[in-house]
Structure 1
């Protein structure tokens, strides 16, 4: 992966998947969610893994099959190098959700081979779909002018610094002076650094990086938060960050709880 990222930064490889293709496939997923149907045209017919809250399940038992989800808001990242997309979804009507979904696409077939979703609803960490909708709409995630875009390495390094600082207070992530963090439906501004007592090990990282939007999403596990499960590897979470000029501007975190409120 490091070699691929280096080649991409030097302009020596073409995109694994065209951006327009990733947009089209992601739109198919969103339509499927809105219709309450578990299948769409770009799903691999023979090679599909579906994970929901870090657990493998049949797609026919997933949130895609539990009835139409009225999507009030969505924002997507398109990773043309890794051939993946990440979409944050907020639904406030009927059954309220905040969903983060990563689609992995086979560049040779342009079919979805893996769907990885964090599905948050009532009882999950600081869940408040109305708050998530309100604050999402206030933020500016417009494309960054090409001349001002950060490289993949800079964007990923900012994301890694943010989550690695949780267990190592000597790390100083590159925060913008007006950094804001949306955690569930709670919105905090001005101080985005978090630290926790060691040992603190983050496992199972999966990245989606979009240079045009200046953003990275990181799926990973969070130790100790949920008292209902073992400390390690911990509960499923993901963090999406907007990086402008090497500085972290926005952070969105969605975390699943096994028991309401993570049994706190």
Structure 2
């Protein structure tokens, strides 16, 4: 499938879910649906989830495919997982890591719902990295992320949705905009985990333009309670790689950056 066809398909996909972009959903329902996804993934039983019978789509590494042929068709022992919830977009983001078995994985998944209905899942959108993908080493990644602090931020100190989205966009714009890096509120103690590579502080060795292709197909899950934004995208600046970038802001400064990058579509 060509890049144009993938992008066109994705635009059409979100046109089918207009309410998901303006919904106001219960946080508890979003996290419950995310947990049902984790149960399905750890058991290989799709019946653990309530999928929409009228309008469901499964996408893996930026390609729409049958859920029965994707990651969820098999069970994986999950060593670590974490979920965030976006009550405005009626969506959640779940990261999970599996280090055992013949094929380890680091996975980022956005789940979306229609019409404020968190009882049914309309879209499962997954970026999955495994052996051979960019800087991949699931055990190293697990060690870094297990040590992180994702405590809920007190309400008075939470970053706004606009701040979080701008940080996510500015990060992805660094490859095409020489000034983008300077607009990001870097923390002096921030950590960046790219695959299995750790950079501290996370604003070391940043790109400053050079590519003419902006990273596209961006879709967002923003959770102010933990100060996070996850952006799934197609990394067009360096190719057409499926990619997830997650950023956490604490006390007004970037604390963590995580990337999951697959080298193949589908």
Provide the TM-score with structure 1 as the length reference.
0.86
Do the aligned partners of residues 161 and 187 (structure 1) sit closer, same or farther apart at CA in structure 2, a change above 3 Å counting? same
Q: Are positions 1:121 and 2:142 aligned together?
A: no
Match of 2:109 in 1: 101
Instruction: Indicate yes or no: 2:21 matched with 1:46.
Output: no
**Residues 42 and 162 from structure 1, CA distance in 2 versus in 1: closer, same or farther, beyond 3 angstroms?**
same
Q: Aligned residue for 1:159?
A: 168
Paired position in structure 2 for 1:209:
222
1:194 aligns with 2:200: no
Supply the distance in 1 between the matched residues of 2:193 and 2:202 (Cα, whole angstroms): 12
Where do residues 1-264 of structure 1 align in structure 2 (5 Å cutoff)? 16-65=24-73, 67-94=74-101, 95-110=103-118, 111-171=120-180, 172=182, 173-192=184-203, 193-223=206-236, 225=238, 231=239, 234-258=240-264
For structure 1, the residue ranges without an aligned partner over 5 or more in a row are 1-13, 226-230, 260-264
Q: Is the 8 A contact 1:53 1:256 kept in 2?
A: yes
Q: CA deviation at 1:104?
A: 0.5
Measured after TM superposition, the shift of residue 152 of structure 1 is: 0.7
Deviation, structure 1 residue 196: 4.2
Q: What is the distance in 2 between the residues matched to 1:83 and 1:180?
A: 29
CA distance in 1, matches of 2:153, 2:90: 20
Structure 2 CA distance for aligned equivalents of residues 224 and 161 of structure 1: 14
CA RMSD of aligned residues (A): 1.7
The 10-residue stretch of structure 1 (244-253 or 119-128) with the greater mean CA deviation from structure 2 = 244-253
Rounded Cα–Cα distance in structure 2 between residues aligned with 1:143 and 1:108: 24
Question: Following TM superposition, by how much is the alpha carbon of 1:15 offset from its aligned partner in structure 2, in angstroms?
Answer: 6.9
Q: Secondary structure at the match of 1:168?
A: coil
Distance 1:107 1:40 in 2: 21
What is the TM-score normalised by the length of structure 2?
Answer: 0.85
In the alignment, the residues of structure 2 paired with residue 205 and residue 117 of structure 1 have an alpha-carbon distance, to the nearest angstrom, of 13
Separation in structure 2 between the aligned mates of residue 41 and residue 116 of structure 1, nearest angstrom? 14
- Kept in 1, the 8 Å contact 2:61–2:264? The answer is no
Judge conservation of contact 1:238–1:255 (CA < 8 Å) in 2.
yes
Give the superposition deviation at 1:100. 0.6
**2:40 and 2:49 in contact (8 A); partners too:** no
Cα distance in 2 for residues equivalent to 1:109 and 1:137: 32
The offset of 1:206, in angstroms, is 0.1
Structure 1 stretch displaced more, 238-247 or 187-196: 187-196
